[in-house]
C-alpha cells in the first residue's frame, strides 16, 4: 500500500472475515478499489490492533489521530514520521517507508506471481511500472 492509502484507511475497508483490505482513493485509477489479501501476519496484527479500539465504527480510521494521550478515531494520523524513525531505531534498520512497497512487489515477483496479480495488488496502471520493479529485482541478482 502507498503511504496515504494506509494512513487514510478506514475500518469499513478492512474485511477480517475475508482477510482482505479494499483500497479507497488512490494515487492511480488502477489503485482505487483494489483488494489486497492479508497474509497471516498482517491479519493477526490488524486483529490485535482492532482489539485496541473496541469503540471504533466502520467510518473511523484504522490509524487515528492521537493528541494529549487522547485518541480521535474520526481523524487520521497526520504522519508516520516519528513512529517510523523510532521503529527503525529500535530495530537497528535503515530504510525508507517506500522500500517496504518495493520489497513486497519484488517478493511477489520472486514468488512467481503473475504480472497481472502484481499489478492488481500494487495498483500499477501500466506494465512499464511492473518492468521497472522487475529491473530492480534482476539488478539485485
Domain stop point among 78, 110, 129: 78
Query: What is the pLDDT, as a whole number, of residue 133?
Result: 67
**Domain check: are 100 and 51 in the same one?**
no
Domain stop point among 32, 63, 78: 78
Q: Exposed, middle or buried: residue 20 (CB in 10 Å: 0-12, 13-18, 19+)?
A: middle
pTM: 0.74
**Domain check: are 50 and 89 in the same one?**
no
CATH of the domain at 61: 1.10.443.10
Grid coordinates given for 86? 523510532
All residue ranges of the chain with pLDDT < 50 are none
Question: What number of other Cβ atoms are within 10 A of residue 112's Cβ?
Answer: 7
Domain with 104, as residue range(s), is 80-141
Query: What is the pLDDT, as a whole number, of residue 99?
Result: 84
- Number of domains the chain is built from: 2
**Domain check: are 37 and 61 in the same one?**
yes
Domain stop point among 23, 57, 78: 78
**Domain check: are 58 and 12 in the same one?**
yes
Query: What is the pLDDT, as a whole number, of residue 135?
Result: 61
Q: How far apart are CA 27 and CA 6, in angstroms?
A: 12
Per-residue DSSP letters for 61-101? BSSEEEETTEEEEEEE-S-SHHHHHHHHHHHT----HHHHH
Amino acid at each position: 500500500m502507498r503511504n496515504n492509502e494506509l494512513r487514510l484507511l478506514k475500518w469499513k475497508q478492512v474485511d477480517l472475515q475475508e482477510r482482505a483490505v479494499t483500497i479507497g482513493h488512490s494515487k492511480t485509477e488502477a489503485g482505487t478499489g483494489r483488494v489486497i489479501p492479508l497474509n497471516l501476519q498482517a491479519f493477526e496484527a490488524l486483529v490485535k490492533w482492532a482489539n485496541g479500539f473496541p469503540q471504533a465504527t466502520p467510518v473511523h480510521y484504522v490509524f487515528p489521530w492521537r493528541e494529549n494521550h487522547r485518541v480521535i478515531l474520526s481523524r487520521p494520523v497526520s504522519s508516520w514520521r516519528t513512529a517510523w524513525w523510532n521503529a527503525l531505531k529500535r530495530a537497528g534498520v535503515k530504510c525508507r517507508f517506500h522500500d517496504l512497497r518495493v520489497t513486497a512487489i519484488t517478493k511477489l515477483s520472486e514468488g512467481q506471481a503473475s504480472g497481472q496479480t502484481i499489478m492488481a495488488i500494487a495498483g500499477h496502471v501500466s506494465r512499464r511500472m511492473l518492468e521497472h520493479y522487475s529491473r530492480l529485482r534482476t539488478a539485485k541478482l
